[in-house]
Amino acid sequence: METRSHRPKRSVLHAERTLQQPRRLVSLHHRSRAQRERRLQLLAIAGAGLVVLVVALILGYGYWRNVIRLGDTTLVTVDGRNYSAEFYARYLGTRQAILTRQIQQAQSQVQPTPTTTAPDVNRLAAQQTLQQLQSEQASLSTTALTDFVEGQLVIDEAKSRNLTASQAELDDALRWLMSPPEAMQTPPTGLEAAPATLPVTGTITLDQAKQALNDLIGKGRFFDQSQVTDYILRPMVLKTKLESALAGNIPKTEEMVHARHILVATEAEATDIRNQLEHGADFATLAKAKSTDTGTKDKGGDLGWFPRGVMVPEFDQAAFSLKVGEISQPIKSQYGYHIIQVLAKDPNHPLDAQQIQQAREQAYQSWFGKAQGDQTKVTYQFSQPLLTWVQNYVSQGN
């Protein structure tokens, strides 16, 4: 007997398919929704990453601009030329290196020799020079910027006056700068001027000076040789010439008086001394016995010749008002009470070497003060972050 396979009726199959379809459609709907949510999550993660990246780039650029490349910022402008913080840091570092060498040289001069049995005059002078150099080094970070500006103004003024520095003069300036420092009578003010002629002794050769400069240049983070010439040596040479040019109009004679005085603490003492002088007492003897001016009492109170404006105003007015030989009433000043006697007067008294040098310095400082104060020539843009950046750069060495 032939068996026939059982086939469900079409209605049954249709019913089963109809029942299965909704379940398949629900499954696809949920899958599509999950995919959309996944894509949104990925987009959110990507967006957050992009924001973090942008913030990191902004912060990184700010750090690069404000810390790493802060040195590109202009620190000072002189006659339209901009000088960056890094350029000045290299100038300052070079100046410090030169000054450190000079201090080391002065220290070697201070050391006593094995045969030294008494204080040596030269060694004492070297000790004074060492102290002055150390003081200069302590203040260099605050004075070097003014020195740099002064040097640039000197170059510009020298150019307008057709003043130049020859190679021989620049070489001599290098020799002098690298040689052991001489004993300084007074500390230099501002940019140091090169001597018109080199000292007879104690100056090293040009080859030795060049080698010393090469040693200072080191790895090149500070000035190279050409920059040392242009920004340190040339201003030094031209300052000497500019001082002479500015001194051309300085008179070689001036109204002066030759006077002596006795200084005491009270008006009563001064009145008593004047009475003694009126009754024939010797001025020099009383000065040695009574005067509190230790600089002149042993010379009988003699002040020598001096022009107007050197003494304090009260003293100055009295001295130039007295007749020759006349003794003043007690004159009060910030130092006490003076009894003054004028020994001589001269409307055209020759200036001595020291007075001429003082006049030269006054003429130069007058010019420099006006040039530096001219905001069309010099403008500063420094800030504390810039100065801190400079110090950090220099502290890393050459």
DSSP for 227-271 reads HHIIIIIHHHHHHHHHHHHHGGGS-SEEEEEEEEEEEESSHHHHH
Q: What is the pLDDT of residue 33?
A: 67
Q: What value does the mean pLDDT take over residues 316-327?
A: 96
Task: Tokens for 54, please give them.
Answer: 């942008």
Judged by average pLDDT, the poorest of 116-125, 288-297, 305-314 is: 116-125
Half-sphere exposure of 217 (CA within 13 A, CB side): 14
| Inter-helix orientation angle 121-160/234-246, to 10° | 80
Where does CATH 3.10.50.40 sit in the chain? 254-350
Task: Tokens for 164, please give them.
Answer: 């130049």
Q: What is the pLDDT of residue 53?
A: 58
CB 146 within 8 A of CB 365: no
The highest-level CATH class for domain 254-350 is alpha beta
Q: Is 164 helix (H, G, I), strand (E, B) or coil?
A: coil
Going through the chain in order, the beta strands assigned E by DSSP cover 74-78, 81-84, 253-264, 302-307, 331-333, 336-350, 378-380
Is the pLDDT at 64 greater than 60? The verdict is no
Q: pLDDT for 82-124, tens place per residue?
A: 999 999 999 999 999 999 998 998 888 777 655 555 456 677 7
Q: Is 64 helix (H, G, I), strand (E, B) or coil?
A: helix
Average pLDDT along the chain: 84
Q: Is the dihedral of CA 116, 119, 120, 122 positive or negative?
A: positive
What's the CA gap between 125 and 202, in Å, rounded? Answer: 15
% residues pLDDT > 90 (the chain): 57
Q: pLDDT for 325-377, tens place per residue?
A: 999 999 999 999 999 999 999 999 998 888 888 888 889 999 999 999 999 99
Q: What value does the mean pLDDT take over residues 305-323?
A: 94
Task: Tokens for 298, please give them.
Answer: 């042993």
Judged by average pLDDT, the poorest of 106-120, 134-148, 156-170 is: 106-120
User: pTM for this structure?
Assistant: 0.68
Q: What is the pLDDT of residue 60?
A: 45
Q: What is the pLDDT of residue 199?
A: 86
CB 361 within 8 A of CB 54: no
